[in-house]
Structure 1
Amino acid sequence: MKFTNSAILAFATTALAAPSATTPVKPRKAVAACSSAVTLDATTNIWQKYKLHANTYYRKEVEAAVSALTDSSLAAAAASVADIGTFLWLDTIENIGKFEPAVADVPCEEILGLVIYDLPGRDCAAKASNGELKVGEISKYKSQYIDPIVKLIKAHPNTAFALIIEPDSLPNLVTNSDKTACKNSAAGYRDGVAYALKNLNLPNVIMYLDAGHGGWLGWDANLKPGAQELAKAYTAAGKPKQLRGIATNTAGWNQWDASPGEFSTASDAKYNKCQNEKIYVETFGAALKTAGMPNHAVVDTGRNGVSGLRAEWGDWCNVKGAGFGIRPTADTGSSLADAFVWIKPGGESDGTSDSSANRYDSFCGKSDAFQPSPEAGTWNQAYFEELIQNAKPSLV
């Protein structure tokens, strides 16, 4: 059903890449890193200087996908995806092992994007992307997850890093506080996010705190509470100077500037003026400024090339008919939007369509979800080929 005003506070979350086993990957040929320590000025748009790095893990996935294409006419377009900068998800303690191979081939003019994503009771409103840490294991999150990442970044002062901090976490506390799982996770989310922001506040790091998307916190009733929730985390972390602002549309499908908007004709549209991500970035950005938090943004355009595919704004799982979107760029046309970036690796599943699976989420079985699809984070060759075919702008 369409979300009505009364359903706003129960808005469903966006499912994201879930834990996947670490696959040994040899780094590409070493390149020249910076000759001295990197210092990123978070008062400026660093994307005007740095290019998002095409990390070695996604490159290997894409190269394997090219060799397995069912349609050889897609080969050139598919191969080109390997050279597009994409964030690497450190979504388990084990996957911290991906850090060293990934950082080995980052040239000085590029920045390595990392997603920090392993809170206790992670993604409390979606079964597909539940994490490895149980509610209450906040000490383990700090000592075995955040602290090792901090140590690794400190060991590479000559490399620039862009971090997306805990997708879905704080937005869930705004809209899904009535769910028992989210209620139980709230304290750990707030403590964990503040700890991550405080300790990852390093000179060669730029951070963006996840803020959902326009169809989530963009509702009139959610704008102020959402901004206050994020600002409280920023304050609790000691107002880290390397936090630039927010990340929006992570693993999402919303258009940047579609007008009047994908769901503008819905009966409840009058309760949400954020009918595209541009309006959301500017509207939520104003609320963040009032709440006392930095308000610049990066927007995930990795899979939003096609609009009008979802039955409801909250449908998040492997949306059928999707295509790769605008490639990473700092040319956004908005003073608040620093860059369009690819946060979600296109081709990695949002969740399984197997209703008998332990982590099956009903959203992955909906009529607008691509089926069959494997477990979250697992490669889906057929879906990758669909993203290639429907890419807008086209890849070649």
Structure 2
Amino acid sequence: MQLSRRRRRLALTSVAVGALAATGLTFASANQALAEEGCEVDYNVVSSWGGGFQANVVITADEPINGWEIKWNFPAGTTVSNAWNVGWTQSGTGFTGKDVGWNASIGSGQSREVFGFIGSGSSATPGQFTVNGDVCNGPSNPTTPPTETPSETPTEDPGGGDKVDNPYAGAQAYVNPIWSANAAAEPGGDAIADQPTGVWIDRRSAIYGNGSPTTGSMGIEDHLDEALEQGADVIQFVIYNLPGRDCAALASNGELAADQIDVYKSEYIDPIVDIMGQAKYADLRIVNVIEVDSLPNLVTNVSPRATQTDNCNTMKANGNYEDGISYAVSELGSLSNTYNYLDVGHHGWIGWTNDDPQYDNFHASAALYGDLIGMNGMTADDVHGFITNTANFSVLEEPYWEVNQNVGGKPLNQNGDVKWVDWNAYNGEIDFATALREELIDNGFNSNIGMLIDTSRNGWGGDYRPTGPSTSNDPITFVDESRIDQRYNKGNWCNQAGAGLGERPTVSPEPGIDAYVWMKPPGESDGSSQYIPNDEGKGFDEMCDPDYQGNIRNGNNPSGSRDNMPLSGHWSSEQFAELLENAYPPVN
């Protein structure tokens, strides 16, 4: 039976503890210091417990900042025990934080979550902040969180035809009450239960609510209505139901056969467009992530590649991936309140650049996306940006080594013995997403496109996280002892054991990056560890079997997957607990 809207709101309130305006993806904050002299600070308490709390700090700059120092005075008795991404000192109640180099720059009109910390004592917002000596007024604590900040000023209301440059900036993000309740029910989960996550529309019945274990009976319209009641400005959906979906991974196969493109258009995309286009949602920014793990397969897993699969060859031949995606982007892009981000894999899949087409994934993928322009009336204006690492585990960056670093007399990415690198030009999502953005622009997309990076499971904290570079002169040992990503191979994608939550959802963390997002809801499975009969169209993929020793697509390495996992999209308490334990930055 479908929950009434009142009951859903009560469930959300009980787990989020009124913290929607202080969500980690801080687009608007109830604890906001407004600028007198061109600076703005958001001091966001994202979780609290007996005697302690975690807070994140966001700086918004009216003018460019190249190096920052922030100061405030805590309430008496409040102390910091741990902080990340900041050089900090505390003397009495006085706190001083300085950038650590890579996070020193904040562009004009840009908001950036600069650091986070763990404190004990009072979590009340300090009365005054200074940034580089400029005073920012004390907390305004508005009753209703603002829907717009100086970091994002659209020329018109987003429902009126002019879309903002970054839909996440200055926005309060929607928290899915179903995921939030699942998270809060787990030990320690209430610390992150107020985070915004993607809502996956993975089959036609999900449009209207199909009662599955993790989505309940909420359909798209239910989520949109709930977003309005939350006072949210932005909501995130994953459009994921292509014919012959995910042709190289059986665990996430879908309900539509390879030739059912007409059904995809008329019974899946068209109803979604009709719902999202309703007038009551005109002021809501709707982010749509379009068809995860689809088009890159047409580059890497088709003939004459050794990694080819029959299903991917079929989809390459019939053209229904390109047809379906271009149709979805064109139809959704025609709405004034939608923001389309196309999925483009991750650096461990698409990061190879080579003059030989058989080994070039990077340029070939960007060209394939560019070929979509003009199909089904799709234009470059229909694409707001692209997303990397969706539902994957690739780290943002490896701080202790570079791919072109010389170890043992040869650059790591030119040494075929170093299988972790394997000639890949990138070792993290920030560099990859930044470079791919430029390549996509060169292939016809607008120069102001933004990138998203899914950080829901790429933290890799815990006891195995290195604290510095290896001292070994052996290149294989050096990389293995220095790398944060602990997988056997970058091609391992299913329920990876040892993974942790990554950076909390954050707006404008890097130039060209619109946001870090949790598009994959932490705790939801990638696929079952063994075959489970189901009516969801989901098969069994050996990459989800912890005993599987691999194939050519993962370099014939062990799968690295967790055991006893349910069907894709279903909840796993064990996986959620591990993600929480290995979170980096840590949750508590």
- Smaller-chain TM-score bracket: 0.7 to 0.9
Deviation at 1:56, TM superposition (A): 2.2
Deviation at 1:271, TM superposition (A): 2.5
**8 Å contact 2:391–2:520 — kept in the other structure?**
yes
Aligned partners of 1:310, 1:229: CA distance in 2, in Å?
29
Q: Could you tell me which amino acid in structure 2 is paired with residue 277 of structure 1?
A: E
In the alignment, what sits opposite 2:74?
none
**8 Å contact 1:41–1:242 — kept in the other structure?**
no
Deviation at 1:267, TM superposition (A): 4.0
Deviation at 1:235, TM superposition (A): 3.4
1:219 equivalent in alignment to 2:411:
no
Deviation at 1:270, TM superposition (A): 6.1
In the alignment, what sits opposite 1:81?
192
Aligned partners of 1:41, 1:255: CA distance in 2, in Å?
34
Task: Describe how 1:1-396 pairs up with structure 2 within 5 A.
Answer: 24-27=2-5, 28-29=8-9, 38-39=159-160, 41-42=162-163, 44-63=165-184, 66=185, 69=186, 74-75=187-188, 78-97=189-208, 98-106=219-227, 107-155=230-278, 156-178=281-303, 179-186=309-316, 187-201=319-333, 202-220=335-353, 221-236=360-375, 237-259=377-399, 260=401, 266-267=418-419, 269=421, 271-294=423-446, 295-306=449-460, 307-332=484-509, 334-354=510-530, 359-366=539-546, 367=558, 368-396=560-588
Q: Structure 2: 5+ residue runs without aligned partners?
A: 11-19, 21-143, 148-156, 209-218, 304-308, 354-359, 404-411, 461-483, 547-557
Q: Could you tell me which amino acid in structure 1 is paired with residue 202 of structure 2?
A: D
Deviation at 1:123, TM superposition (A): 0.4
**8 Å contact 1:322–1:387 — kept in the other structure?**
yes
Q: In 2 relative to 1, CA 356–50 (structure 1 residues): closer, same or farther, beyond 3 Å?
A: closer
Aligned partners of 2:437, 2:158: CA distance in 1, in Å?
31
SS of residue matched to 1:169? coil
Return the structure number with greater strand share.
Answer: 2
**8 Å contact 1:47–1:339 — kept in the other structure?**
yes
Return the structure number with greater helix share.
Answer: 1
Per-residue deviation, residues 298-351 of structure 1 (Å, max 9, x unmatched): 00000111033210110000000111111111141x221111000001111001
Instruction: Kindly name which structure, 1 or 2, has the bigger radius of gyration based on alpha carbons.
Output: 2
SS of residue matched to 1:226? helix
**8 Å contact 1:172–1:182 — kept in the other structure?**
yes
Per-residue deviation, residues 65-123 of structure 1 (Å, max 9, x unmatched): x1xx4xxxx33xx0132210001001110000111221122245521100000000000
Per-residue deviation, residues 131-188 of structure 1 (Å, max 9, x unmatched): 0001110010000000000000011223220010001111111111232201212311
Q: Could you tell me which amino acid in structure 2 is paired with residue 234 of structure 1?
A: I
SS of residue matched to 1:173? helix
Per-residue deviation, residues 18-73 of structure 1 (Å, max 9, x unmatched): xxxxx844434499999x7725755612222223311123123224xx1xx4xxxx
Q: In 2 relative to 1, CA 25–363 (structure 1 residues): closer, same or farther, beyond 3 Å?
A: farther
Q: CA RMSD in A?
A: 2.5
Aligned partners of 1:44, 1:104: CA distance in 2, in Å?
24
Q: Could you tell me which amino acid in structure 2 is paired with residue 204 of structure 1?
A: N
**8 Å contact 2:330–2:382 — kept in the other structure?**
no
Aligned partners of 2:420, 2:587: CA distance in 1, in Å?
36
Aligned partners of 1:230, 1:193: CA distance in 2, in Å?
10
**8 Å contact 2:163–2:337 — kept in the other structure?**
no
Aligned partners of 2:207, 2:382: CA distance in 1, in Å?
22
Q: In 2 relative to 1, CA 320–150 (structure 1 residues): closer, same or farther, beyond 3 Å?
A: same
Per-residue deviation, residues 223-247 of structure 1 (Å, max 9, x unmatched): 1110011111233243152421211
Aligned partners of 1:283, 1:139: CA distance in 2, in Å?
35
SS of residue matched to 2:259? coil
Structure number with greater CO (CA < 8 Å, separation at least 6) is 1
**8 Å contact 2:167–2:285 — kept in the other structure?**
no
SS of residue matched to 1:313? coil
Per-residue deviation, residues 186-221 of structure 1 (Å, max 9, x unmatched): 311110000000000111011100000011111111
SS of residue matched to 2:580? helix
**8 Å contact 1:50–1:111 — kept in the other structure?**
yes
Aligned partners of 2:232, 2:568: CA distance in 1, in Å?
32
Aligned partners of 2:224, 2:371: CA distance in 1, in Å?
32
Aligned partners of 1:60, 1:352: CA distance in 2, in Å?
22
Aligned partners of 1:57, 1:43: CA distance in 2, in Å?
29
In the alignment, what sits opposite 2:33?
none
SS of residue matched to 2:234? strand
Aligned partners of 1:214, 1:163: CA distance in 2, in Å?
22
Aligned partners of 1:40, 1:339: CA distance in 2, in Å?
23
Q: In 2 relative to 1, CA 219–52 (structure 1 residues): closer, same or farther, beyond 3 Å?
A: farther
Aligned partners of 1:268, 1:325: CA distance in 2, in Å?
21
Count of residues paired in the alignment:
362
Q: Could you tell me which amino acid in structure 2 is paired with residue 243 of structure 1?
A: V
Query: Which region of structure 1 is more displaced relative to structure 2, 378-387 or 355-364?
Result: 355-364
Q: Could you tell me which amino acid in structure 2 is paired with residue 168 of structure 1?
A: D
Aligned partners of 2:584, 2:252: CA distance in 1, in Å?
27
**8 Å contact 1:40–1:160 — kept in the other structure?**
no
Query: Which region of structure 1 is more displaced relative to structure 2, 247-256 or 233-242?
Result: 233-242
